[in-house]
Amino acid sequence: MTHSSLSSPSRFQTYDDPGEAAEGAARIAKLRAELVRRGLAGFIVPRADEHQSEYVPRHAERLAWLTGFTGSAGTMIVLLDKAALVVDGRYTLQAPEQVDTAVITPVPLADTTVEAWIANNLPAATSLGYDPWLHTTNAVKKLEQAAENAGGKLVPVDMNPVDVIWVDRPLPPCAPVRPHPSAYAGETSEDKLARIREKLDKDKVDALIVSDPHNLAWAFNLRGGDVAHTPLPLGYAIILREGRPTVFLAPAKVTNEAGSSLGAEADIAPPDAMPSALDALGAAGAKVRIDAATGAIALSRRIETAGGVADIGPDPISLMKAVKNGAEIAGARAAHLRDGAAVARFLAWLAREGPSGELTEIDAVEALEGFRGETGLLKDVSFPTISGAGPNGAIVHYRVTRKTNRAIHPGELFLIDSGAQYEDGTTDITRTVAIGEATAEMRDRFTRVLKGHIAIARAVFPKNTSGAQIDGFARAALWSVGLDFDHGTGHGVGSYLSVHEGPQRISKIGSTALEPGMILSNEPGYYKAGAYGIRIENLILVERREMSGAEREMMGFETLTLAPIDRSLIDSGLMTIEEIGWLDNYHARVREKLSPLVDAETKVWLDEATRPLGPRA
């Protein structure tokens, strides 16, 4: 893509400045009037939908509509005389800029949890309302305790009071739901359902409510388009230990193909048929597994009221989905090859155009999406691109807007974290490149991050090793000089599904055992506030590792992502021979795989970018 083509705007991303707070005071006043009408002293407004999704559809963006706050996480508690918006470290600066602070007080989570704020602020002997579709059972237990600590009580509402005052509220999304072809899925829905039923049998539960749309999509081999960047059909399913499952999806969005493929395995019903299905389960005294992470308390209440047993625990589909099968792995390799070629074209373009000092962060986002679009197979970006020049690179979840957009200056580091949705796989890659000359400190830090990245890529470990047990490998080179980074080393990644998938992860809290077939990110970083950010991210696949003399079943990682790592930022004096060997081998593989797929100009750049670092060149 040439510079001139930048005039074609992104199909999947916007650079709008965050919403504005102008309406906040009036809307909160209306909400309070509604609360008074209902005899409530307050109401909890989380940034959540009925599925606890990462991307919330517009009709469920109640918090943003009420306040102007557009962060991806946050909870407001509106009392009659005050309102607190509790946000985590990512949004402590953004929240006060977006909301009307005369009406809403942003509260950093580090200072006060939602529960502590309620315990300290809810007036005694009053009722605090919540929408039982927007909170899990375990979350409500904590909120109930908090209200009790204040001498008040927590009460569910029948209809969300925000919806009553939100007159021009959008309709729920209704994107078409289509079958996910078996060439990509690699396992029939019939076989998946058999495995799920086996697990229900083992756990002695009679039914599973699938509340996580990712799990719905996986189990029934469906894909939709109800939220941004993840091809989800929003809906539910009930899978019985014995008998046909029922999938609850708005009839308008079930395409004929989906209807006929799905119909072989399941009954299809409209969402408003679900309450009576839950009642029937409860009346039969069924023990029903409800996902602890995504199942709304409305589900467990309904089951229990009808006489059933709500078994709050993990949805077994999550772990099954995390372990990719042969077709999904082949798809991931193909997707990464295609994506790597697009990223290489982008990096070559950046190397040509960057030194002018005229490119902006948005230019880079557009160019990269353009190269991916030219593959002809791009379905969406897998998340809004993080494109941070200089100090913006130090903001871990930075999203460029027209207001924050800045030119990429020579002498700066530029960090770009992006990903694509292809039908055969989901990608996620971060590269940090020097525009012009980097300082010795930047090279030292980059090299330490790279050492951490390589330590994960080269790790071998036995069966049953958790992600937490190898997380330190990614940090040791930074720790040894008193540095660190404040995010996990790796998250799970779906197969044409969410770029953030659990339960697999490499982090302090990664207690799930790593299993062959899991795909994760490997993304250590270093961030110097106000100066620059560094992150090196590849996706990695857990694979069995045969070793002579091994007494254990051993595993390691195959690196899936294919794109050069900036050699000009490496201080090879800090690297061991083994680390240099890994990098040179990786670059040789990148060159070999991508060369046939790129234009001549990119090929010249690629040859130079993947030249061996070591003396064994």
Interface residues with a copy of itself (CB under 8 A) are 119, 149, 204, 459-462, 464-466, 468-473, 475-476, 479-484, 508-509, 511, 547, 549-552, 554
* CA 548/CA 560 separation, integer angstroms: 25
Best CA proximity match to 473, nearest among 427, 502, 507: 507
Q: How far is the CB of 76 from a copy of itself (least distance, A)?
A: 23
Run of H or E including 338: helix 326-353
Angle, CA 136 vertex, CA 133 and CA 137 arms, to 5°: 110
The least CB distance from residue 528 to a copy of itself, in Å, is 8
Query: What does 224-255 look like in DSSP terms, one character per residue?
Result: --SSSSS-PPP-EEEEESSS--EEE--GGGB-
**Quick one: 204 or 403, whose CB is closer to a copy of itself?**
204
Residue among 143 and 359 whose Cβ is closer to a copy of itself: 143
Q: Are 598 and 606 in contact (CB under 8 A)?
A: yes
Angle at alpha carbon of residue 585, lines to 580 and 589, rounded to 5° = 150
CA distances to 61, 172, 226, 235, 503 from 249, in Å: 21, 12, 11, 5, 26
Q: Are the C-beta atoms of 127 and 36 separated by less than 8 Å?
A: no
Closer CB to a copy of itself, 171 or 529, in the complex? 529
Query: Looking at beta carbons only, is 102 or 481 nearer to a copy of itself?
Result: 481
Residue 375 structure tokens:
């593959």
Rounded least distance, CB 483 to a copy of itself, Å: 5
Q: In angstroms, give the least distance from the CB of 383 to a copy of itself.
A: 26
d(CA 539, CA 420): 12
What are the tokens at 35? 């609360």
Distance (Å, whole) CA 427 – CA 36: 49
CB of 455 to a copy of itself, least distance (A): 9
Tokens 């055992």, located at residue = 513
In the complex, minimum distance from the CB of residue 260 to a copy of itself, in angstroms, rounded to a whole number: 39
Task: Between 36 and 547, name the residue whose CB sits nearer to a copy of itself.
Answer: 547
Whose Cβ is closer to a copy of itself: residue 26's or residue 509's? 509
> C-beta of 591: minimal distance to a copy of itself in Å?
28
Task: Give the residue with the Cβ less far from a copy of itself, 119 or 429.
Answer: 119
Q: Rank residues 320 and 460 by Cβ distance to a copy of itself and give the closer one.
A: 460
- Report whether 391 contacts 532 (CB < 8 A): yes
Min CB(615)–a copy of itself separation in Å = 20
Smallest gap from residue 453 Cβ to a copy of itself (A): 16
**How many residues are present in the chain?**
617
Q: Of 490, 455, 353, whose CA–CA distance to 414 is shortest?
A: 353
3-state helix, strand, coil in the chain (%, to 5): 40, 20, 40
DSSP 375-443: TS---EESS--EEEEGGGGGSTT----TTT--B--TTEEEEEEE-EEETTEE--EEEEEEESPPPHHHH
Nearer to a copy of itself, 29 or 476 (CB): 476
For a copy of itself, the closer of residues 125 and 550 by Cβ is 550
Neighbours of 544 (CB within 10 A): 12
Minimal distance, residue 459 CB to a copy of itself, in Å: 8
**Would you say 39 or 151 has its CB closer to a copy of itself?**
151
Q: Which of 335, 344, 340 is nearest to 606 (CA)?
A: 344
By beta-carbon proximity to a copy of itself, the closer residue of 32 and 451 is: 451
Shortest distance (Å) from residue 394 CB to a copy of itself:
12
Least distance (Å) from a copy of itself to the CB of residue 481?
6
Q: Which pairing describes strands 178-179 and 153-156: parallel, antiparallel, or unpaired? A: unpaired
